[in-house]
Amino acid sequence: MSKSPVRDLIVGLFVIAGFTAIAYLSVSLGGLTYTGPGGLFLTAKFDEIGGLAPRAQVVVGGVKVGQVTAIDLDEDYRAEVTLEVNGNLAVPEDSSASILTAGVLGDQYIALEPGGSDAMLQTGDEVPYTQSAIILERLIGKLVQNFGGGDDE
């Protein structure tokens, strides 16, 4: 009878470890992050964002430095994307932002390319140079139109 409490304790610890692992995976895969206070909030305006979504990564040189926090329309009907980047990152004011795709059919993310200016962007500033997403369906449509709809002479 003395083995039953030990066995119950082991089973209880195993269940707690299982719930802890499930909670950790849920938070990790869900993309919930905390970068702490002092993040740098920037905006970038694009003509086309494709499948970009909130919580998409913001990278510099392939290293994640932040995420997309909001996507809205501005008064000119352009997509206005709010980026939260690491507060320790100094982003030159002539930097550019591009929407890229991870792999052929992967998720879209924003790549920041730092410029060469000595002046840095501050919270609330706009990234001046942007490159919109390339829509694969449009490219395929143009390719089919150019090669399939040729002149019959």
- pLDDT one-digit tens code per residue, 99-148: 998 877 778 999 999 999 999 999 999 999 999 888 777 888 888 888 87
Which candidate, 106, 105, 97, places its Cα nearest to that of 132? 97
* pLDDT for the residue numbered 33: 58
* pLDDT for the residue numbered 111: 94
pTM, full prediction = 0.68
* pLDDT for the residue numbered 32: 63
Q: What is the mean pLDDT of the chain?
A: 86
pLDDT at 65 over 80: yes
- pLDDT one-digit tens code per residue, 33-61: 555 556 899 999 999 998 899 999 999 99
With a pLDDT cut of 70, the percent of the chain lying above it is 88
Work out the widest C-alpha separation in the chain, in whole angstroms. 95
Q: How far apart (Å, rounded) are the C-alpha atoms in residues 124 and 120?
A: 12
Q: And the tokens for 60?
A: 């510099």
- DSSP string of the chain? --HHHHHHHHHHHHHHHHHHHHHHHHHHHHT-----S-PEEEEEEES--TT--TT-EEEETTEEEEEEEEEEE-TTS-EEEEEEE-TT---BTT-EEEEEESTTT--EEEEEE--S-SSB--TT-B-SEEEPPP-HHHHHHHHHHHHHS----
Q: Where are the domains of the chain?
A: 1-32, 40-135
What's the average model confidence in pLDDT over 84-105?
A: 88
